Amino acid sequence: MDYTRLSVSDFITRAGSGSIDLRDFYSRMFKRLKELNKTYNVFVTLAEEHDILDAKSARKPSGTLAGLPVSLKDNICSEGLQATAGSRILEGYEPPFDSTVAARLKSRGGVIVGKTQMDEFGFGWASTNSGWKIPKNPRDPTRVTGGSSGGAAALVAALDYPHLALGQSTGGSLSNPASFCGVVGLTPTYGLVSRYGLIDYGNSLDKIGPIAGTVRDAALMLSAIAGHDPRDPTTAQKPPGDYHSKLKSSFRNLRIGIPREYFGEGVEPRVSERVWSAIKKLESLGATCKEISLPMTPDAIAIYYIIATSEASTNLARFCGLRYGAEEPIEGDFNEYFSKVRSKYLGQEAKRRIILGTYSRMAGYRDQYYLKAMRARTLLIQEFRKAFRTCDVLAAPAMPCIAPRFKETESMSPLQNYMMDILTVAPNLAGIPTISVPCGTAESMPVGLHLMAGHFNEQALLNTAHSYEKSI
């Protein structure tokens, strides 16, 4: 059987009815995964092939993901599988428990095949800050995958076997690599998906979400992981939707807002053009479009980097060389030991974030930076809420450019790096759901249409994206 022709849903139906030999499927798939990993560095850790083959020799798997291969970004814990969050400081750490999302995937029949590459702790936009190997873009290996969920997006783009990936976003890490690799990346509303068992970057910002080849597959994955979790008190109490079975390829009376600021300075004209043609397409399908303004857009980078680094600097304090991962011979007092381990094993960007975040939380500066950023964030949330009074969905580019070449990123300053997030940090700060869907190419590289919706309005977002995808 040629497994490469199977869609995710074909695979699930056939595997569920026992008409796929899973031993054969997984042994061929692992061969493919190893080849891809050699070419594109998509995994930090691949699961043990023999464990999977043994577990899968039982025929008929059940559940909505019956026997389907799934991958996890390296900051999502799965029992017994190394989790480093892209950092050398966590080398060898094997969590003794499952994150809630991993447990949910397993209980629905998903099979975890590996942990995908990422920027160290999520700090970056290109996956070039990984402590391990740097993933390459399958559309052009001289270019970055985007980040920080770069390995996941590259894997989905390169793999011709049925598979779904989970990534995670703090300030754009699902939309960005999805856009650069030409796949679908869905960032759920903050609090829709449990963060229990996620190695935190910024607790008030982190969202786990799907990366998939199609909108339908992303909806399937979201249905599998969404919903309240008593182990994560920030998850919403309300029951999640059934995104997959309610998915529609048409819409009625859809009002789309086009935020003027998202097409301004710094956005490449060839990217805006592709996105505008996608908007015209949605109009031809019956949507009404109007220009709107989100005036706080230029402030979002400053607000985001203060809040995200403040939260990251406290989260990283637990990596002190005593409880997890890397250790060194104990010498000197605690502070000396702590600095020795962290100086040796953390990358440059992680150190920069710790310094920035510690500064903005310090007595004397806290009011001026952290608390002020928190107040500004509330205003930004109100601005989005206001927009969703008259619009169902907003449309914009996901990234201001196509995936840059590695050599183009080498001379970028920290500020230039942070500016890459200009279009994604505001919706992430607001905690609203977004999706990046491929909408054409420039220089043969994919461009992502970014759709955003009000809190918990994932269904409208998915239906719009699905209608668009079906129409092209």
Q: In the complex, which residues of this chain contact ligand GLN (CB under 6 A)?
A: 122-125, 148, 169-173, 201, 308, 421
Give min distance, CB of 103 to ligand GLN, in A.
23
Q: Are 202 and 178 in contact (CB under 8 A)?
A: no
By beta-carbon proximity to ligand GLN, the closer residue of 122 and 400 is: 122
Question: Is 360 labeled as catalytic in the residue annotation?
Answer: no
Contact of 159 with 36, CB cutoff 8 Å? yes
- The whole-angstrom separation of Cα 57 and Cα 107 is 17
Phi, psi of 364 (to 5 degrees): 100, -30
Considering the complex, state which of residue 278 and residue 306 has its C-beta at the smaller distance from ligand GLN: 306
Alpha-carbon gap, residue 230 to 3, rounded angstroms: 39
- The smaller minimum CB distance to ligand GLN, of residues 89 and 278, is found at 89
Give min distance, CB of 347 to ligand GLN, in A: 12
**Residue 73 Cβ, how far from ligand GLN at the closest point, in Å?**
10
Comparing CB distances to ligand GLN, the nearer of 151 and 171 is 171
Least Å from the CB of residue 464 to ligand GLN: 23
DSSP strand E in 8-68: where? 43-46
From the list 107, 136, 131, the residue with the least C-alpha distance to 45 is: 131
Q: Could you confirm whether 248 is annotated as catalytic?
A: no
Distances (CA, A) of 388 to 257, 382, 392, 424, 470: 9, 10, 6, 17, 25
Query: Residue 434's closest CA among 445, 417, 421?
Result: 421
Which entry of 71, 127, 130, 148 is annotated as an active-site residue?
A: 148
* Per annotation, catalytic residue among 87, 169, 173, 223: 173
Contact 402, 271 (CB under 8 A): yes
Contacts 24+ apart (CB under 8 A), 135-138: 135/40, 135/41, 135/42, 136/39, 136/40, 136/41, 137/40, 137/180, 137/181, 137/403, 137/445, 138/40, 138/181
- Give the count of beta carbons closer than 10 Å to the beta carbon of residue 289: 17
Does residue 130 contact residue 144 with C-beta atoms inside 8 Å?
no
User: What minimum distance in Å lies between the beta carbon of 207 and ligand GLN?
Assistant: 9
Question: Smallest distance, Å, CB 125 to ligand GLN?
Answer: 4
- Which residue, 15 or 423, is less far from ligand GLN as judged by CB? 423
Nearer to ligand GLN, 199 or 212 (CB): 199
What's the N-to-C CA distance of the chain in angstroms? Answer: 30
| Shortest reach from residue 193's CB to ligand GLN, in Å | 15
From the CB of residue 153, how many other CB atoms can be counted at a distance below 10 Å?
Answer: 37
Instruction: Pick the closer one to ligand GLN by CB: 100 or 187.
Output: 187
Residue 309 identity (one-letter amino acid): T
Is residue 246 flagged as an active site residue? no
Q: Which of 73, 115, 136, 207 is catalytic?
A: 73
Active-site residues, by number, are 73, 148, 173
